[in-house]
Amino acid sequence: MKRLTLAVLMLAALSACSEKKQPESAATGPAETQQAAPAATEAPASAPEASAATAPATSAAETQASAAAAPETSAAETQAAAAPAAAGGPTGRVFVTNEKGNSVSVIDPATNAVIGTIDVGIQPRGIGKSPDGSEIYVALGEEGKIAVIDPKEMKLVRKFDSGPDPEAFGVHPDGNIYISMENDAKAAVYNPKTGEQIALVDVGLEPEGVAVSPDGSKVIVTSESTNMLHVISVPDHKLVANILVGSRPRAATFSKDGKWAYASAEIGGEVKRVDMTTYKVDKVTSIGEEDAKPKDVMLSNDQKTLYVAGGRANKIFIFDAESMALKGSIPVGNRVWGLALSKDGSRLYTTDGGSDQISVIDTAKNEVIATIPVGKAPWGVVVDD
Amino acid sequence: MKQESRAVCALLSVWLTAGMALTSAVRAADADEVEILFVGDQGRSAWEGASQGLIEANLQGKFLGKTFRLTQLPGAGEILKESKPAAVVVAGDATTLRQVADTLPGVPVFNVGLDDDAIRQQCGGNILHVLPSQAMKRDALSQWKTKNPESDARALAWHSSAKKYSGTQLNDRYMKSFGKPMDDEAWAGWAAVKMLADTVVRTQSSDPGKLLDFLRNDLEFDGQKGADMSYRKNGQLRQPILIVEGGKVVGEAPVVGVAQSIEDLDSLGNVECK
């Protein structure tokens, strides 16, 4: 009885702490709230807990203010654009975020030449395109914003607030984006057309990789410091599974049929295949090279080959996607992290962060056919095709 | 909010977790609740580090139905006979460390306060040294000075300016909780609780013997220093060492070009078991 009273008193004192903190911690609150969570919950959660919460929408005024504050793209850079793409269709261009260059490099895949550089803001990392291809989104970690680029004009068109330290995101077929908030242990769902926040979901520490199932019913968020894949159901935004994987999972991808997910573990030096109907790990392959710090994972168009960016092994590792047997590797530049495949599957683009370059791989031969110098520390890549 | 009151709130939240855990233990013995003892002074940063580890352990545990509880004791003499902790974190002198290890045979005992080489000569017991040894730090510095002869750097387990490998995130979390920079002991306390919790969820067990076996043989710990950490036969945690000069991390050991590779963790203060 005494203990219970004491606990109640402590809870009251703690909630006073939380209340006091709130005004100053709009940007830093969630992690603090989580400290209290285990105590406030009387019984340990034995089942995955739903924790979606709707947060207030970003005001229109704020969105406008941030768009106005965005750096202007220079006229010279815009003019550097090659012939404009056919109206309505995708540009075919390759867009690369330069984390330390604070820019996006635009590459013409026909010539493998950089045809434009867009100053987007501070620390651009994750990149993705809208389902209709009309916009490219870029997560600006330092700024706590998402930049929106017009791929045809190669111009920054607006920015909206995403909360602190957005790292990577996935674009849902319905157009919403699912962002990993690295410092807050949350996944945030935004409508990028309006800048409105639709949901916030509690996940593990240092969330990074995001993968959206092809049918849009599930989203995976990896938590690097909690070693899990968190599966969020759409549209209700509940956690339906938390799957323990190798140490420091950084990225995940779905097979086209949605049955499998492949996830890398950077410190574990391995790739896991997970059955997305049972949420059980199906196969694990250790890369077996000490330097291999796997990051992005990508399936070939025919779903038979899995490409894994090997980090400081400076290689792309090639796996049989069914047996998970290692088939070989392709040497690329230093500290390779990001991967993107052309729509026809013939070209794989890799971001070689330590070499400030992109490598272009011909997937028929699994050979590098070009390297393209870009900005400082390229991180993410997407093909607008 | 002032840093002191922030630290009080963070400590309170840790204490509260322990307090509520006790009340629920009275209501019903809970198989999913895991007890970790901390033997040492609460004034040491190792306690704050362990408390940070507890916050993160419970964050992971809530997704998998595990609750972790950290109970502080001033000395080894306070360990109750009927006590059945999953592991013990010790921030004390060599006598205390030995006393804890002997009182709880087969239970993982993490040393987070001593870097002495002498206590690392024994192999095969239940003591796990999370802090790097003096020998590891000497070798790290010597590798660094091979390439930077004029340097007057120090070799440390951790530093509040560590940025790479999500060092920034860990430093930010600790600063937010306790309002001060994370140091070596705090890192070791954090790492001990975090690796224990990860071992509990991976083995789905809180049996100390199973945990010790996994820790010694199967651990792949991410200590946010970019390497896969595991234990040597003598119970020493393999890990990179940070090279700090002028209040900033300037490098890390193993030093590329002196050691075979950055992954060559046994180039630092390795001790052969007799």
Same domain as A67, residue A192: yes
Chain A residue with minimum CA distance to B62: A45
Q: Averaged over B27-45, what is the pLDDT?
A: 82
Q: Are residues A299 and A210 in the same domain?
A: no
Q: Structure tokens of B261?
A: 């590779």
Dihedral over Cα of B13, B14, B15, B16: its sign = positive
Answer whether A344 touches B (CB < 8 Å): no
Spatial separation of the C-alpha atoms in residues B104 and A38, rounded to whole Å: 28
- The H-or-E segment that residue B23 falls in is helix B3-27
Residue A147 tokens read as: 């930049």
Locus of tokens 């006229």 = A75
Question: Can you tell me the ipTM of this complex?
Answer: 0.85
For the record, the structure tokens of A56 come out as: 């207030």
Residues A60 and A114 in one domain: yes
Q: Is the pLDDT of residue B235 over 80?
A: yes
**How many residues would you count in chain A?**
385
Of A192, A214, A236, the position where a domain reaches its end is: A214
> What whole-number percentage of chain B has pLDDT above 90?
81
Q: Is residue A36 part of a domain?
A: no
Same domain? A188 vs A58: yes
Angle, helices A2-21 vs A29-40, to 10°: value is: 170
Distance from CA of A280 to the nearest CA of B (A): 14
What b/e string do you get for B185-220 counting C-beta neighbours within 10 Å, with b at 16 or more?
bbbbbbbbbbbbbbbbbbeebbebeebbbbbbeebb
Mark whether A114 and A176 lie in a shared domain.
yes
Q: Is residue A332 part of a domain?
A: yes
A235 upstream amide cis, omega within 30 of 0: yes
Which one, of A136, A44, A122, A56, lies nearest residue A92 by Cα? A136
Give chain A positions within 8 Å (CB) of B177: 35
Strands A177-181, A186-191: parallel, antiparallel or unpaired by DSSP? antiparallel
Do residue A258 and residue A204 come from a single domain? no
Where is B58: in which H helix or E strand?
A: helix B45-64
| Residue A333 falls inside a structural domain | yes
Of B24, B62, B172, the CB nearest to A45: B62
Tell me, yes or no, whether A329 lies in a domain: yes
Mean pLDDT computed over B23-43: 72
Tell me the average pLDDT across B20-39.
63
| pLDDT value at residue B31 | 58
- Do A381 and A262 lie in a common domain? yes
User: Residue B15 has what pLDDT?
Assistant: 47
Q: Which residue segment(s) compose the domain that A131 sits in?
A: 50-81+97-214
Asked if A291 is an interface residue toward chain B (Cβ–Cβ < 8 A), one would say yes
> Which of A3, A42, A227 lies nearest to residue B198, judging by beta carbons?
A227
Q: What is the pLDDT of residue B274?
A: 66
Evaluated on CA atoms A237, A238, A242, A243, the torsion sign reads negative
Compute the nearest-CA separation of B180 from chain A (Å). Answer: 16
Contact B11, B150 (CB under 8 A): no
* Arithmetic mean of pLDDT, B124-152: 96
DSSP-derived secondary structure for A351-362:
EEGGGTEEEEEE
pLDDT per residue as tens digits for the range B258-271:
998 888 999 999 98
Please compute, for residue A35, the number of CA atoms within 13 A of its CA located in the half-sphere on the CB side: 28
Encoded tokens for B253: 């050991």
List of residues 6+ apart from A215 with CB closer than 8 A: A173, A258
pLDDT in tens, chain A (385 residues): 334 334 444 444 444 444 333 333 333 333 333 333 333 333 333 333 333 333 333 333 333 333 333 333 343 344 344 444 445 689 999 999 999 999 999 999 999 999 999 999 999 999 999 999 999 999 999 999 999 999 999 999 999 999 999 999 999 999 999 999 988 899 999 999 999 999 999 999 999 999 999 999 999 999 999 999 999 999 999 999 999 999 999 999 999 999 999 999 999 999 999 999 999 999 999 998 888 999 999 999 999 999 999 999 999 999 999 999 999 999 999 999 999 999 999 999 999 999 999 999 999 999 999 999 999 999 999 999 9
Kindly identify which residue of chain B lies nearest to residue A206, measuring between CA atoms.
Answer: B169
Is A369 within the bounds of a domain?
Answer: yes
Domain count, chain A: 2
Tell me: pLDDT of B21 over 50: no
Residue B256 DSSP one-character state: B
- Tell me the domains of chain B and their CATH numbers: 3-131+178-238 (3.40.50.2300)
Asked if residue A124 belongs to a domain, the reply is: yes
pLDDT value, residue A81: 40
The mean per-residue pLDDT over the stretch B8-14 comes to: 48
Which of B187, B221, B7, B198 lies closest to B113 in space, CA to CA? B187
pLDDT of residue B30: 54
Q: Yes or no: say if A137 and A130 are a contact pair by the CB < 8 Å rule.
A: yes
Residue among B20, B33, B228 whose CB faces A267 most closely: B228
Could you tell me if residue B98 is left (phi over 0), alpha (psi between -120 and 50 degrees) or otherwise beta?
Answer: alpha
Q: Does A271 lie in the same domain as A162?
A: no
Q: Is residue A283 part of a domain?
A: yes
Name which of B178, B164, B212, B163 is nearest B55 in CA terms: B178
Mean pLDDT on B187-213: 97
Supply the pLDDT for residue A37: 32
Q: Does residue B116 surpass a pLDDT of 70? A: yes
C-alpha to C-alpha distance for B273 and B234, rounded to whole angstroms: 6
CA dihedral A233, A237, A238, A244 (to 10 degrees): 60
- Domain membership flag for residue A165: yes
CATH number reported for the structural domain that contains residue A294 in this entry = 2.130.10.10
- CA dist., res. B20 & res. A38, Å (int): 9
Would you call B62 and A239 a contact, using CB atoms and an 8 Å cutoff? no
pLDDT value of residue B32: 77
Which DSSP helix (H) or strand (E) runs through B94?
A: helix B94-103
Instruction: Quickly list DSSP for A79-113.
Output: HT--SPPPTTS----EEEEETTTTEEEEEETTTTE
Residue A45 CB partners (closer than 8 Å, separation 6+): B62, B63, B65
Q: What is the mean pLDDT of chain B?
A: 89
Question: Do A204 and A262 share a domain, yes or no?
Answer: no
How many C-beta neighbours within 10 Å does residue A214 have?
Answer: 12
CB within 8 Å: B65 and A204: no
Do A324 and A176 share a domain, yes or no?
no
Do both A59 and A204 map to the same domain? Answer: yes
Are both A109 and A191 inside the same structural domain?
A: yes
Residue B67 has φ and ψ, to the nearest 5°, of -120, 135
Nearest to A165 by CA among A184, A137, A188: A184
Q: Is B138 exposed, middle or buried (0-12, 13-18, 19+ CB in 10 A)?
A: middle
Chain segment B51-99, per-residue pLDDT in tens: 999 999 999 999 999 999 999 999 999 998 788 999 999 999 999 999 9
Kindly determine whether residue B63 and residue A34, on different chains, have CB atoms separated by under 8 Å: no
Phi, psi (deg, nearest 5) at residue A279: 60, 30
Residue B171 pLDDT greater than 50, yes or no? yes
- B225 chain-A contacts, CB cut-off 8 A: none
Q: Which residue has the higher pLDDT, B197 or A69?
A: B197
Of A183, A198, A214, the position where a domain reaches its end is A214
Judged by CB atoms closer than 8 Å, whether chains meet at A37 and B63 is answered as: no
> Which residues face A53 on adjacent strands?
A200
Question: Number of Cβ pairs closer than 8 Å across A and B?
Answer: 142
Find all residues with CB under 8 Å of B265, minimum gap 6, and list them.
Answer: B227, B229, B238, B239, B240, B254
